[in-house]
Amino acid sequence: ITAVIRDIYVYEATRFDEVVKDSLSFLFYKEIKSKFIDKVTSDKDGFFQISLPPGKYSFFVKEDSHYFANLTDGSGYLESAVVKKNSVTKKQIDINYKAAY
């Protein structure tokens, strides 16, 4: 794992039918149709922190002019996390579209 500085866009929980796919890859999106909540930038260690009200959210990493998300939660929501009242939610986003396994 290599930490990177990136802009992370937070939207209401977003399903596949709420994004416009990019022709580059099925992991990239050129438009997100769900409600935009906020944006945060990770630091040099890849750490980011944002205060959100309780709810379910999707996190997209901005790569050039495209949004990247590589995981679903089994219910079709992209790169999602549930935020509960008075708690901390940990969310790791793996930017692995150039990875070789």
Contact 53, 84 (CB under 8 A): no
- Could you tell me the pLDDT band of residue 25, with boundaries at 50, 70 and 90? confident
Contact 25, 37 (CB under 8 A): no
Q: Is the pLDDT of residue 60 over 90?
A: yes
d(CA 57, CA 42): 17
Mean pLDDT for the stretch of residues 44-54: 96
